[in-house]
Amino acid sequence: KKLFGLLLAGVLVLGLLLPCLNVQAGEPTDKILSYDIKITTREDASLDMVYTIKWKVLESEKAGPLTWVKIGIPNKHVDEITALSDNIDEIGRNTVGGQYVSVRFEDEYEEGDIVEFSFSIHQDYMYKQSRNGEEAIFEFTPGWFDEMDINLLTIWWYGEEAAEVSPETEYLAFGAYVWMYNMLDPGEKVTVSLTYPWEGVYGFDEERLEN
């Protein structure tokens, strides 16, 4: 059975997850058709994060069917891990070698199959403080697969309008920033950041800085 790891780093690159099993070097066995992350900022500056991934199996004769995946999460300060799609049989935190969410499917997926699954987590310790102490900065690297392409990666960040965002993107009428990236190569990464005043927007706390 195939086991894959999705690297997901958060503030300042908050973790490293390599694929857990290389079935055949140089020959991708799977492809990510779409990878969608919706982030909602709570008043205390912690984050509700919803992951939706559409995954296509390219090869299963040698690698075996796709039965579960291990998804990297930003750090250990996570709770409220919840399956949102009916095709997830089991879900939970996995701390072997890092910080992950393990997702086990109800069915097995063979060559040509596409599985779309979704889950949510509540994530804390996701910001740093500027040197002058006047700003809080979220910096998020949402993930990459070392051996698979990603056709489309979309990041949705809901919350108050930030003082600065990078890369630049518009603050939409429904209160979100959206970044879209097409055709990411294996191992290719992107990073987004948002800067807020330390006082007056969210409940930033020096005891809950990213670590």
Q: What is the pLDDT of residues 7-62, one digit of tens each?
A: 444 433 333 333 333 334 557 889 999 999 999 999 999 999 999 999 999 999 88
- Do 150 and 159 contact (CB within 8 A), yes or no? no
| Bridge partners (DSSP) listed for residue 113 | none
Which of 29, 10, 72 lies closest to 186 in space, CA to CA?
29
Instruction: Express each pLDDT in 170-201 by its tens digit.
Output: 999 999 999 999 999 998 999 999 999 999 89
Residues 6+ apart with CB under 8 A from 52: 34, 35, 36, 37, 38, 84, 116, 117, 118
Percent of the chain with pLDDT over 90: 72
In the predicted structure, residue 65 carries a pLDDT above the cut 80: yes
Q: Is residue 69 over pLDDT 80? A: yes
Q: What is the predicted pLDDT for the residue at 23?
A: 38
Do the beta carbons of residue 113 and residue 61 sit within 8 Å?
A: no
How far apart (Å, rounded) are the C-alpha atoms in residues 107 and 191? 33
Q: In this prediction, what percent of the chain has a pLDDT beyond 70? A: 88
Q: How many Å apart are CA 3 and CA 67, to the nearest integer?
A: 8
